[in-house]
Chains A and B, each alone.
Chain A
Amino acid sequence: MNVFDCHTHWAPCFQNRDGRNPAAWIELIRSAGVSHAVILPFTGLIHDGKVGQDNDDLAAVCAHPAAEGRMIPFCTAQISVPDEGLAEIRRALGTLKMRGIKFHPWLQGLSPGWAAMDDVCDLAEEFDVPILFHDGTPPFSLPAQMALLAKRHPRVQIILGHTGLFEHWREAIAAVNLTPNLWPCLCSPHVAALKEIVRRCDPQRLLWGSDHGFTLDNFYPYRRGLMELIGLDDKQREAMYDVNPRRLLKM
Protein backbone atom coordinates (compact mmCIF):
# COMPACT_ATOMS: atom_id res chain seq x y z
CA MET A 1 0.00 0.00 0.00
CA ASN A 2 1.22 3.52 -0.81
CA VAL A 3 1.09 6.13 1.90
CA PHE A 4 0.33 9.59 0.54
CA ASP A 5 1.06 12.52 2.83
CA CYS A 6 -1.23 15.19 1.37
CA HIS A 7 0.08 18.12 3.43
CA THR A 8 3.81 18.84 3.46
CA HIS A 9 5.89 21.92 2.79
CA TRP A 10 9.16 22.80 1.16
CA ALA A 11 10.40 25.56 3.44
CA PRO A 12 13.51 27.75 3.31
CA CYS A 13 15.18 25.51 5.90
CA PHE A 14 15.37 22.80 3.22
CA GLN A 15 15.96 25.11 0.28
CA ASN A 16 18.90 26.75 2.10
CA ARG A 17 20.34 23.45 3.24
CA ASP A 18 19.81 21.29 0.17
CA GLY A 19 19.21 23.69 -2.74
CA ARG A 20 16.88 21.98 -5.18
CA ASN A 21 17.95 18.48 -4.23
CA PRO A 22 15.25 16.57 -2.34
CA ALA A 23 17.36 13.48 -1.53
CA ALA A 24 17.48 14.16 2.21
CA TRP A 25 13.82 15.18 2.28
CA ILE A 26 12.79 11.98 0.51
CA GLU A 27 14.94 9.91 2.84
CA LEU A 28 13.14 11.38 5.84
CA ILE A 29 9.64 10.68 4.54
CA ARG A 30 10.72 7.20 3.48
CA SER A 31 11.98 6.49 7.00
CA ALA A 32 8.51 7.50 8.23
CA GLY A 33 6.87 4.99 5.92
CA VAL A 34 5.53 7.64 3.55
CA SER A 35 5.69 6.81 -0.15
CA HIS A 36 4.38 10.03 -1.76
CA ALA A 37 3.88 13.60 -0.65
CA VAL A 38 1.98 16.62 -1.85
CA ILE A 39 4.49 19.46 -1.53
CA LEU A 40 3.08 22.86 -0.75
CA PRO A 41 5.00 26.09 -1.02
CA PHE A 42 6.15 28.08 1.97
CA THR A 43 8.20 31.08 0.86
CA GLY A 44 5.55 31.88 -1.74
CA LEU A 45 2.91 32.03 0.99
CA ILE A 46 4.73 34.70 2.97
CA HIS A 47 6.64 36.73 0.35
CA ASP A 48 4.63 38.03 -2.58
CA GLY A 49 7.81 39.00 -4.39
CA LYS A 50 9.09 35.42 -4.36
CA VAL A 51 5.98 33.57 -5.52
CA GLY A 52 7.32 32.88 -9.00
CA GLN A 53 10.73 31.88 -7.65
CA ASP A 54 9.14 29.53 -5.13
CA ASN A 55 6.97 27.89 -7.78
CA ASP A 56 10.08 27.43 -9.95
CA ASP A 57 12.02 25.92 -7.03
CA LEU A 58 9.21 23.59 -6.05
CA ALA A 59 8.67 22.36 -9.59
CA ALA A 60 12.41 21.74 -9.96
CA VAL A 61 12.70 19.94 -6.62
CA CYS A 62 9.84 17.61 -7.48
CA ALA A 63 11.24 16.97 -10.99
CA HIS A 64 14.69 16.10 -9.57
CA PRO A 65 15.63 12.44 -10.15
CA ALA A 66 16.03 11.96 -6.37
CA ALA A 67 12.32 12.71 -5.97
CA GLU A 68 11.54 9.53 -7.94
CA GLY A 69 8.19 10.97 -8.94
CA ARG A 70 7.03 10.76 -5.33
CA MET A 71 6.75 14.50 -4.72
CA ILE A 72 3.68 16.22 -6.12
CA PRO A 73 4.10 19.99 -6.35
CA PHE A 74 1.31 22.49 -5.71
CA CYS A 75 1.78 26.12 -6.71
CA THR A 76 0.54 29.33 -5.13
CA ALA A 77 -0.02 32.90 -6.25
CA GLN A 78 -0.94 36.29 -4.86
CA ILE A 79 -4.35 37.10 -6.32
CA SER A 80 -4.86 40.48 -4.67
CA VAL A 81 -3.72 41.71 -8.08
CA PRO A 82 -5.93 39.25 -9.95
CA ASP A 83 -4.44 39.41 -13.45
CA GLU A 84 -0.90 38.86 -12.22
CA GLY A 85 -1.93 36.07 -9.86
CA LEU A 86 -3.98 34.24 -12.45
CA ALA A 87 -1.16 34.52 -15.01
CA GLU A 88 1.25 32.99 -12.48
CA ILE A 89 -1.11 30.11 -11.76
CA ARG A 90 -1.51 29.50 -15.49
CA ARG A 91 2.28 29.47 -15.85
CA ALA A 92 2.72 27.13 -12.88
CA LEU A 93 0.07 24.64 -13.99
CA GLY A 94 0.93 24.90 -17.69
CA THR A 95 4.64 25.52 -18.19
CA LEU A 96 5.83 24.10 -14.86
CA LYS A 97 3.25 21.29 -14.86
CA MET A 98 2.46 21.70 -11.17
CA ARG A 99 -0.37 19.49 -9.98
CA GLY A 100 -2.52 21.63 -7.74
CA ILE A 101 -2.93 25.02 -6.10
CA LYS A 102 -2.42 25.96 -2.45
CA PHE A 103 -3.63 28.99 -0.54
CA HIS A 104 -3.06 29.96 3.06
CA PRO A 105 -5.66 32.70 3.05
CA TRP A 106 -4.89 34.45 6.32
CA LEU A 107 -1.15 34.44 5.71
CA GLN A 108 -1.60 35.64 2.15
CA GLY A 109 -4.39 38.08 2.90
CA LEU A 110 -6.84 36.50 0.46
CA SER A 111 -10.50 35.77 1.06
CA PRO A 112 -12.11 32.68 -0.48
CA GLY A 113 -15.04 34.98 -1.11
CA TRP A 114 -13.22 37.20 -3.60
CA ALA A 115 -14.23 37.13 -7.26
CA ALA A 116 -10.61 36.38 -8.13
CA MET A 117 -10.93 33.13 -6.18
CA ASP A 118 -13.75 32.13 -8.52
CA ASP A 119 -11.39 32.81 -11.43
CA VAL A 120 -8.81 30.56 -9.76
CA CYS A 121 -11.43 27.83 -9.56
CA ASP A 122 -12.11 28.23 -13.27
CA LEU A 123 -8.40 27.71 -13.92
CA ALA A 124 -8.34 24.67 -11.62
CA GLU A 125 -11.22 23.24 -13.59
CA GLU A 126 -9.48 23.96 -16.90
CA PHE A 127 -6.31 22.17 -15.75
CA ASP A 128 -8.26 19.58 -13.76
CA VAL A 129 -6.28 20.06 -10.54
CA PRO A 130 -7.39 20.37 -6.89
CA ILE A 131 -7.01 23.39 -4.61
CA LEU A 132 -5.80 22.92 -1.05
CA PHE A 133 -6.58 25.57 1.57
CA HIS A 134 -5.19 26.10 5.01
CA ASP A 135 -8.31 26.08 7.18
CA GLY A 136 -9.42 26.32 10.77
CA THR A 137 -8.82 30.02 11.37
CA PRO A 138 -10.75 33.22 10.77
CA PRO A 139 -11.16 35.61 9.12
CA PHE A 140 -10.26 34.01 5.79
CA SER A 141 -9.85 30.30 6.48
CA LEU A 142 -13.08 28.88 7.81
CA PRO A 143 -14.29 25.52 6.53
CA ALA A 144 -17.61 27.23 5.75
CA GLN A 145 -15.82 29.70 3.47
CA MET A 146 -14.21 26.84 1.52
CA ALA A 147 -17.52 24.99 1.40
CA LEU A 148 -19.32 27.94 -0.19
CA LEU A 149 -16.50 28.32 -2.72
CA ALA A 150 -16.72 24.59 -3.48
CA LYS A 151 -20.47 24.88 -3.93
CA ARG A 152 -19.97 27.66 -6.47
CA HIS A 153 -17.57 25.35 -8.35
CA PRO A 154 -18.94 21.83 -8.04
CA ARG A 155 -16.48 20.38 -10.56
CA VAL A 156 -13.42 21.61 -8.67
CA GLN A 157 -12.03 19.45 -5.87
CA ILE A 158 -11.21 21.51 -2.79
CA ILE A 159 -9.19 20.19 0.14
CA LEU A 160 -9.54 21.39 3.73
CA GLY A 161 -5.85 21.27 4.61
CA HIS A 162 -6.51 20.87 8.35
CA THR A 163 -10.20 19.87 8.63
CA GLY A 164 -10.87 22.68 11.06
CA LEU A 165 -7.88 22.39 13.45
CA PHE A 166 -8.90 22.42 17.15
CA GLU A 167 -11.93 24.70 17.02
CA HIS A 168 -13.61 24.37 13.64
CA TRP A 169 -13.55 20.60 13.14
CA ARG A 170 -17.26 20.14 13.85
CA GLU A 171 -17.97 22.89 11.34
CA ALA A 172 -15.62 21.09 8.93
CA ILE A 173 -17.55 17.84 9.31
CA ALA A 174 -20.80 19.64 8.51
CA ALA A 175 -19.17 21.42 5.56
CA VAL A 176 -17.79 18.18 4.11
CA ASN A 177 -21.12 16.41 4.50
CA LEU A 178 -22.93 19.24 2.70
CA THR A 179 -20.37 19.57 -0.09
CA PRO A 180 -19.48 16.53 -2.23
CA ASN A 181 -16.37 18.16 -3.72
CA LEU A 182 -14.83 19.12 -0.36
CA TRP A 183 -12.11 16.76 0.94
CA PRO A 184 -11.04 16.60 4.60
CA CYS A 185 -7.29 16.22 5.16
CA LEU A 186 -6.64 14.77 8.60
CA CYS A 187 -3.83 17.07 9.64
CA SER A 188 -3.63 18.71 13.07
CA PRO A 189 -6.90 18.08 14.95
CA HIS A 190 -6.54 16.07 18.19
CA VAL A 191 -7.21 12.35 18.48
CA ALA A 192 -10.83 12.71 19.60
CA ALA A 193 -11.63 15.01 16.67
CA LEU A 194 -9.85 12.75 14.19
CA LYS A 195 -12.01 9.85 15.35
CA GLU A 196 -15.18 11.86 14.86
CA ILE A 197 -14.12 13.06 11.42
CA VAL A 198 -13.46 9.49 10.34
CA ARG A 199 -16.73 8.30 11.84
CA ARG A 200 -18.89 10.99 10.26
CA CYS A 201 -17.31 11.89 6.91
CA ASP A 202 -17.42 10.12 3.55
CA PRO A 203 -14.61 7.52 3.71
CA GLN A 204 -14.00 8.01 -0.03
CA ARG A 205 -12.75 11.56 0.55
CA LEU A 206 -10.59 11.23 3.65
CA LEU A 207 -6.96 12.23 3.19
CA TRP A 208 -4.05 12.31 5.61
CA GLY A 209 -1.37 14.95 6.07
CA SER A 210 1.49 15.63 8.47
CA ASP A 211 2.29 19.32 7.83
CA HIS A 212 5.90 18.17 7.80
CA GLY A 213 8.49 20.49 6.34
CA PHE A 214 7.86 23.99 7.54
CA THR A 215 10.57 23.64 10.18
CA LEU A 216 13.39 21.15 10.68
CA ASP A 217 11.43 19.50 13.51
CA ASN A 218 10.48 15.95 12.56
CA PHE A 219 6.68 15.87 12.57
CA TYR A 220 6.37 12.22 11.61
CA PRO A 221 6.81 10.15 14.76
CA TYR A 222 4.08 12.11 16.53
CA ARG A 223 1.72 12.59 13.60
CA ARG A 224 2.02 9.05 12.23
CA GLY A 225 1.55 7.80 15.79
CA LEU A 226 -1.67 9.79 16.17
CA MET A 227 -3.18 7.95 13.22
CA GLU A 228 -2.47 4.65 14.96
CA LEU A 229 -4.63 5.77 17.89
CA ILE A 230 -7.89 6.34 16.06
CA GLY A 231 -8.79 2.76 15.31
CA LEU A 232 -8.83 2.66 11.51
CA ASP A 233 -9.65 -0.65 9.89
CA ASP A 234 -7.68 -1.89 6.87
CA LYS A 235 -10.22 -0.61 4.39
CA GLN A 236 -10.29 2.89 5.86
CA ARG A 237 -6.50 2.91 6.01
CA GLU A 238 -6.16 1.93 2.37
CA ALA A 239 -8.75 4.48 1.27
CA MET A 240 -7.22 7.36 3.20
CA TYR A 241 -3.54 6.68 2.58
CA ASP A 242 -3.68 5.37 -0.95
CA VAL A 243 -6.92 5.06 -2.95
CA ASN A 244 -8.41 8.48 -2.23
CA PRO A 245 -5.27 10.54 -2.88
CA ARG A 246 -4.54 8.64 -6.09
CA ARG A 247 -8.08 9.33 -7.30
CA LEU A 248 -7.79 12.99 -6.34
CA LEU A 249 -4.36 13.43 -7.90
CA LYS A 250 -5.06 11.17 -10.87
CA MET A 251 -2.19 8.80 -10.23
Chain B
Amino acid sequence: MSSIIDAYTTSGTERETALPVEELIRQLDDAGIARAVVAPEDREIAVHNRAGNERIARLAADAPGSPGGTGAPGNAGRLIPACTVNPWFGAEGVKELSRAVHAGARMLVLAPALQGFYLGDEIANPLYEAAKEMLLPVYVHTGPHGPAAPTQLALVAMQFPRTRFIMGHCGSTDHAHDMPAALKLKLPNLWFELSLVRPFAIHHWGKIAGDERLIFGTSAPRNLPRHELQHADLSWPIAKNSGTYGRNIEALLAEVRP
Protein backbone atom coordinates (compact mmCIF):
# COMPACT_ATOMS: atom_id res chain seq x y z
CA MET B 1 0.00 0.00 0.00
CA SER B 2 1.27 3.47 -0.83
CA SER B 3 1.85 6.10 1.84
CA ILE B 4 0.37 8.91 -0.22
CA ILE B 5 -2.01 11.22 1.58
CA ASP B 6 -4.46 13.56 -0.09
CA ALA B 7 -4.64 16.56 2.24
CA TYR B 8 -7.96 17.89 1.01
CA THR B 9 -11.09 16.11 -0.16
CA THR B 10 -14.82 16.58 0.31
CA SER B 11 -17.57 14.00 0.45
CA GLY B 12 -20.49 16.36 0.07
CA THR B 13 -24.20 16.09 -0.52
CA GLU B 14 -24.90 18.91 -2.97
CA ARG B 15 -23.54 21.17 -5.69
CA GLU B 16 -20.11 20.51 -7.13
CA THR B 17 -18.78 18.55 -4.17
CA ALA B 18 -21.61 16.01 -4.07
CA LEU B 19 -19.81 12.66 -3.73
CA PRO B 20 -20.81 9.59 -1.72
CA VAL B 21 -18.04 8.39 0.57
CA GLU B 22 -17.85 5.02 -1.20
CA GLU B 23 -17.12 6.84 -4.43
CA LEU B 24 -14.46 8.98 -2.76
CA ILE B 25 -12.79 5.79 -1.49
CA ARG B 26 -13.03 4.29 -4.97
CA GLN B 27 -11.37 7.36 -6.47
CA LEU B 28 -8.57 7.19 -3.89
CA ASP B 29 -8.08 3.49 -4.65
CA ASP B 30 -8.02 4.24 -8.34
CA ALA B 31 -5.30 6.85 -7.78
CA GLY B 32 -3.28 4.72 -5.37
CA ILE B 33 -3.79 7.16 -2.51
CA ALA B 34 -3.64 5.57 0.94
CA ARG B 35 -5.43 8.15 3.05
CA ALA B 36 -7.22 11.46 2.73
CA VAL B 37 -8.30 14.33 4.89
CA VAL B 38 -12.02 14.85 4.37
CA ALA B 39 -13.57 18.26 4.99
CA PRO B 40 -17.11 19.57 5.40
CA GLU B 41 -18.85 20.87 2.27
CA ASP B 42 -19.44 24.53 1.39
CA ARG B 43 -22.78 25.07 3.14
CA GLU B 44 -21.36 23.43 6.26
CA ILE B 45 -18.27 25.63 6.07
CA ALA B 46 -20.40 28.75 5.66
CA VAL B 47 -23.26 28.19 8.10
CA HIS B 48 -23.97 24.67 9.36
CA ASN B 49 -20.64 24.15 11.11
CA ARG B 50 -21.63 21.74 13.85
CA ALA B 51 -23.86 19.60 11.65
CA GLY B 52 -21.03 19.42 9.13
CA ASN B 53 -18.39 18.56 11.69
CA GLU B 54 -20.57 15.78 13.09
CA ARG B 55 -21.35 14.45 9.62
CA ILE B 56 -17.67 14.31 8.70
CA ALA B 57 -16.65 12.68 12.00
CA ARG B 58 -19.30 10.01 11.46
CA LEU B 59 -18.42 9.54 7.83
CA ALA B 60 -14.73 9.06 8.62
CA ALA B 61 -15.49 6.65 11.44
CA ASP B 62 -17.88 4.58 9.33
CA ALA B 63 -15.83 4.59 6.13
CA PRO B 64 -15.03 1.15 4.75
CA GLY B 65 -11.93 -0.16 6.45
CA SER B 66 -12.09 2.20 9.41
CA PRO B 67 -12.35 0.96 13.00
CA GLY B 68 -16.01 0.12 13.45
CA GLY B 69 -16.56 0.36 9.72
CA THR B 70 -17.80 -2.31 7.41
CA GLY B 71 -15.03 -2.71 4.87
CA ALA B 72 -11.93 -4.82 4.64
CA PRO B 73 -9.50 -4.64 7.55
CA GLY B 74 -6.07 -3.09 7.19
CA ASN B 75 -7.18 0.33 6.06
CA ALA B 76 -7.90 1.72 9.49
CA GLY B 77 -8.22 5.48 9.58
CA ARG B 78 -8.33 5.83 5.82
CA LEU B 79 -10.28 9.08 6.03
CA ILE B 80 -9.07 11.71 8.46
CA PRO B 81 -11.77 14.16 9.52
CA ALA B 82 -11.31 17.92 9.31
CA CYS B 83 -13.68 20.38 10.92
CA THR B 84 -14.70 23.95 10.32
CA VAL B 85 -15.87 26.93 12.33
CA ASN B 86 -17.05 30.24 11.00
CA PRO B 87 -15.14 32.92 12.94
CA TRP B 88 -18.34 34.99 13.25
CA PHE B 89 -19.63 32.49 15.83
CA GLY B 90 -17.09 33.92 18.29
CA ALA B 91 -16.74 32.17 21.65
CA GLU B 92 -19.40 29.68 20.67
CA GLY B 93 -17.28 28.77 17.65
CA VAL B 94 -14.19 28.22 19.76
CA LYS B 95 -16.23 25.81 21.89
CA GLU B 96 -17.35 23.98 18.78
CA LEU B 97 -13.75 23.72 17.61
CA SER B 98 -12.68 22.14 20.85
CA ARG B 99 -15.66 19.75 20.76
CA ALA B 100 -14.89 18.74 17.17
CA VAL B 101 -11.22 18.09 17.88
CA HIS B 102 -12.11 15.98 20.92
CA ALA B 103 -14.42 14.06 18.63
CA GLY B 104 -11.53 13.30 16.28
CA ALA B 105 -11.06 16.22 13.89
CA ARG B 106 -7.41 16.77 12.99
CA MET B 107 -7.49 19.97 10.91
CA LEU B 108 -9.43 23.23 11.00
CA VAL B 109 -10.67 24.50 7.63
CA LEU B 110 -11.23 28.20 7.08
CA ALA B 111 -12.57 29.61 3.81
CA PRO B 112 -12.62 33.39 4.15
CA ALA B 113 -14.65 34.06 0.99
CA LEU B 114 -17.30 31.53 2.01
CA GLN B 115 -17.31 32.53 5.66
CA GLY B 116 -17.42 36.26 5.08
CA PHE B 117 -14.19 37.55 6.58
CA TYR B 118 -10.84 38.88 5.40
CA LEU B 119 -7.53 37.33 6.48
CA GLY B 120 -6.09 39.85 8.89
CA ASP B 121 -9.46 40.57 10.48
CA GLU B 122 -9.12 39.96 14.22
CA ILE B 123 -12.51 38.22 14.18
CA ALA B 124 -10.60 34.97 13.49
CA ASN B 125 -7.92 35.47 16.16
CA PRO B 126 -9.63 33.37 18.87
CA LEU B 127 -9.65 30.41 16.46
CA TYR B 128 -5.94 30.83 15.67
CA GLU B 129 -5.24 30.93 19.43
CA ALA B 130 -7.32 27.83 20.11
CA ALA B 131 -5.65 25.98 17.24
CA LYS B 132 -2.24 26.89 18.65
CA GLU B 133 -3.05 25.30 21.99
CA MET B 134 -4.10 22.06 20.29
CA LEU B 135 -1.29 22.10 17.69
CA LEU B 136 -4.14 21.88 15.21
CA PRO B 137 -3.19 22.77 11.62
CA VAL B 138 -5.34 25.54 10.17
CA TYR B 139 -6.02 24.99 6.48
CA VAL B 140 -6.99 28.23 4.76
CA HIS B 141 -8.46 28.28 1.26
CA THR B 142 -6.50 30.94 -0.61
CA GLY B 143 -7.08 32.40 -4.05
CA PRO B 144 -10.13 34.64 -3.69
CA HIS B 145 -8.95 38.17 -4.41
CA GLY B 146 -9.47 40.40 -1.44
CA PRO B 147 -10.33 38.04 1.41
CA ALA B 148 -7.76 35.27 0.97
CA ALA B 149 -4.47 36.11 -0.73
CA PRO B 150 -1.17 34.30 0.02
CA THR B 151 0.39 37.50 1.36
CA GLN B 152 -2.52 37.99 3.76
CA LEU B 153 -2.10 34.47 5.13
CA ALA B 154 1.67 34.92 5.42
CA LEU B 155 1.05 37.98 7.55
CA VAL B 156 -1.38 36.08 9.77
CA ALA B 157 1.22 33.32 10.13
CA MET B 158 3.75 35.95 11.26
CA GLN B 159 1.27 37.35 13.73
CA PHE B 160 0.60 33.85 15.14
CA PRO B 161 4.02 32.19 14.92
CA ARG B 162 3.03 29.24 17.09
CA THR B 163 -0.11 28.39 15.12
CA ARG B 164 0.41 26.05 12.18
CA PHE B 165 -1.09 27.17 8.89
CA ILE B 166 -1.56 25.39 5.58
CA MET B 167 -1.98 27.64 2.55
CA GLY B 168 -4.64 25.81 0.52
CA HIS B 169 -4.24 26.16 -3.27
CA CYS B 170 -1.20 28.47 -3.03
CA GLY B 171 -3.34 31.38 -4.18
CA SER B 172 -4.33 29.75 -7.47
CA THR B 173 -4.71 31.11 -9.96
CA ASP B 174 -3.77 34.75 -10.29
CA HIS B 175 -2.27 35.19 -6.84
CA ALA B 176 0.39 32.75 -8.03
CA HIS B 177 2.36 35.92 -8.79
CA ASP B 178 2.67 36.45 -5.02
CA MET B 179 3.89 32.94 -4.31
CA PRO B 180 7.67 33.17 -4.83
CA ALA B 181 7.86 35.91 -2.19
CA ALA B 182 5.58 33.97 0.17
CA LEU B 183 7.59 30.77 -0.28
CA LYS B 184 10.91 32.53 0.26
CA LEU B 185 9.77 33.72 3.70
CA LYS B 186 10.42 30.15 4.89
CA LEU B 187 8.08 30.66 7.84
CA PRO B 188 8.41 27.64 10.13
CA ASN B 189 4.65 27.57 10.78
CA LEU B 190 3.45 27.78 7.16
CA TRP B 191 2.97 24.89 4.71
CA PHE B 192 1.72 25.01 1.13
CA GLU B 193 -1.03 22.75 -0.21
CA LEU B 194 -1.13 22.05 -3.93
CA SER B 195 -4.71 21.37 -4.99
CA LEU B 196 -5.80 23.72 -7.80
CA VAL B 197 -2.16 24.55 -8.51
CA ARG B 198 -1.48 23.65 -12.16
CA PRO B 199 0.20 20.26 -11.68
CA PHE B 200 2.69 20.89 -14.48
CA ALA B 201 3.91 23.98 -12.61
CA ILE B 202 4.40 22.44 -9.13
CA HIS B 203 8.12 22.06 -9.71
CA HIS B 204 8.48 25.86 -9.75
CA TRP B 205 7.17 26.07 -6.16
CA GLY B 206 9.09 22.96 -5.16
CA LYS B 207 12.39 24.46 -6.22
CA ILE B 208 11.83 27.41 -3.90
CA ALA B 209 10.13 25.77 -0.94
CA GLY B 210 11.63 22.27 -0.95
CA ASP B 211 9.93 18.96 -0.30
CA GLU B 212 9.55 19.66 3.42
CA ARG B 213 7.11 22.55 2.92
CA LEU B 214 4.71 21.28 0.23
CA ILE B 215 1.59 19.21 0.83
CA PHE B 216 -0.18 17.29 -1.91
CA GLY B 217 -3.96 17.60 -2.17
CA THR B 218 -6.57 17.17 -4.88
CA SER B 219 -9.73 18.99 -3.75
CA ALA B 220 -11.67 15.96 -4.94
CA PRO B 221 -14.35 15.90 -6.20
CA ARG B 222 -13.63 19.28 -7.74
CA ASN B 223 -10.77 17.38 -9.37
CA LEU B 224 -10.18 13.70 -10.04
CA PRO B 225 -7.43 12.30 -7.76
CA ARG B 226 -5.92 9.97 -10.38
CA HIS B 227 -5.48 12.76 -12.91
CA GLU B 228 -4.09 15.20 -10.36
CA LEU B 229 -1.62 12.74 -8.84
CA GLN B 230 -0.44 11.47 -12.21
CA HIS B 231 0.38 14.97 -13.45
CA ALA B 232 1.80 16.17 -10.13
CA ASP B 233 4.16 13.18 -10.24
CA LEU B 234 5.39 14.21 -13.70
CA SER B 235 6.26 17.68 -12.42
CA TRP B 236 7.41 16.87 -8.86
CA PRO B 237 8.16 13.14 -8.62
CA ILE B 238 6.59 11.11 -5.85
CA ALA B 239 9.72 8.97 -5.59
CA LYS B 240 11.87 11.95 -4.63
CA ASN B 241 9.37 13.95 -2.58
CA SER B 242 7.88 11.80 0.12
CA GLY B 243 7.33 14.85 2.32
CA THR B 244 5.05 16.50 -0.20
CA TYR B 245 3.06 13.35 -0.85
CA GLY B 246 2.36 12.34 2.74
CA ARG B 247 5.03 12.73 5.37
CA ASN B 248 4.50 16.45 5.98
CA ILE B 249 0.76 16.33 6.51
CA GLU B 250 1.05 13.09 8.46
CA ALA B 251 3.47 14.68 10.90
CA LEU B 252 1.22 17.71 11.37
CA LEU B 253 -1.89 15.59 11.99
CA ALA B 254 -0.07 13.26 14.36
CA GLU B 255 0.88 16.06 16.72
CA VAL B 256 -2.62 17.35 17.33
CA ARG B 257 -3.45 17.17 21.03
CA PRO B 258 -7.12 17.66 21.85
Which residues from chain A sit less than 8 Å from chain B, CB to CB? 106, 136-138, 165-167, 188, 190-193, 195-196, 215, 217-219, 221-222, 225-226, 229
* CB of B129 closer than 8 Å to a CB of A: no
Q: Bound state CA distance, A106 and B177, in angstroms? A: 13
Please indicate the chain A residues that have their CB under 8 angstroms from the CB of B146 in the complex.
Answer: 138
Is A136 within 8 A of B173, CB to CB? yes
Please indicate the chain A residues that have their CB under 8 angstroms from the CB of B199 in the complex.
Answer: 222
Q: Mark B72-115, 1 if CB is under 8 A from A, else 0.
A: 00000000000000000000000000000000000000000100
Is B113 within 8 A of A167, CB to CB? yes
Q: Bound state CA distance, A136 and B143, in angstroms? A: 11
Is A188 within 8 A of B173, CB to CB? yes
Q: Mark B201-223, 1 if CB is under 8 A from A, else 0.
A: 10000000000000000010111
Closest 4 A/B residue pairs (Cβ): A192-B16, A190-B222, A192-B222, A222-B231
Is B16 within 8 A of A196, CB to CB? yes
Please indicate the chain B residues that have their CB under 8 angstroms from the CB of A190 in the complex.
Answer: 196, 219, 222-223
* A167 and B143 in contact, given A222-B199, A222-B231 (Cβ under 8 angstroms): yes
Closest B residue to A167 by beta carbon equals: B144
A42 to chain B, nearest CB (A): 15
CB < 8 Å neighbour of A219 from B144, B200, B227: B200
Please indicate the chain A residues that have their CB under 8 angstroms from the CB of B198 in the complex.
Answer: 217, 219, 222
Q: Bound state CA distance, A165 and B223, in angstroms? A: 14
Is B196 within 8 A of A106, CB to CB? no
Q: How many A-B residue pairs have CB under 8 A?
A: 59
Please indicate the chain A residues that have their CB under 8 angstroms from the CB of B144 in the complex.
Answer: 167
Is B172 within 8 A of A166, CB to CB? yes
Number of B residues contacting the other chain (C-beta, 8 Å)? 25
Q: Mark B185-205, 1 if CB is under 8 A from A, else 0.
A: 000000000001011110000
Please indicate the chain A residues that have their CB under 8 angstroms from the CB of B201 in the complex.
Answer: 215, 217
Closest A residue to B113 by beta carbon equals: A167
Please indicate the chain B residues that have their CB under 8 angstroms from the CB of A196 in the complex.
Answer: 16
The 8 sampled A-B contact pairs (Cβ below 8 Å) are A136-B174, A138-B145, A165-B174, A166-B172, A190-B219, A191-B227, A192-B222, A226-B227
Q: Bound state CA distance, A7 and B221, in angstroms? A: 25
* CB of B224 closer than 8 Å to a CB of A: yes
B181 to chain A, nearest CB (A): 18
Is A222 within 8 A of B200, CB to CB? yes
Is B196 within 8 A of A221, CB to CB? no
B49 to chain A, nearest CB (A): 22
* A191 and B224 in contact, given A166-B196, A221-B234 (Cβ under 8 angstroms): yes
* CB of B241 closer than 8 Å to a CB of A: no
Is A106 within 8 A of B222, CB to CB? no
CB < 8 Å neighbour of B222 from A165, A167, A191: A191
The residues in B between 137 and 155 inclusive whose CB is less than 8 angstroms from any CB of A are: 143-146
Is B173 within 8 A of A191, CB to CB? no
Q: Bound state CA distance, A233 and B169, in angstroms? A: 31
Closest B residue to A169 by beta carbon equals: B16
* CB of B17 closer than 8 Å to a CB of A: yes
Q: Bound state CA distance, A73 and B96, in angstroms? A: 56
Q: A136-B174, A137-B173, A190-B223 are in contact. List 11 more A-B contacts (CB 8 A).
A: A136-B173, A137-B145, A167-B143, A190-B219, A190-B222, A191-B223, A193-B16, A215-B201, A217-B235, A221-B234, A222-B199
Most buried by B among A165, A167, A190, A219: A190
* A137 and B174 in contact, given A217-B201, A222-B199 (Cβ under 8 angstroms): yes
B233 to chain A, nearest CB (A): 12
A163 to chain B, nearest CB (A): 12
Closest A residue to B146 by beta carbon equals: A138
Please indicate the chain B residues that have their CB under 8 angstroms from the CB of A219 in the complex.
Answer: 198, 200
Is B16 within 8 A of A221, CB to CB? no
Closest B residue to A196 by beta carbon equals: B16
CB < 8 Å neighbour of B231 from A136, A166, A215, A225: A225
Is B174 within 8 A of A106, CB to CB? yes
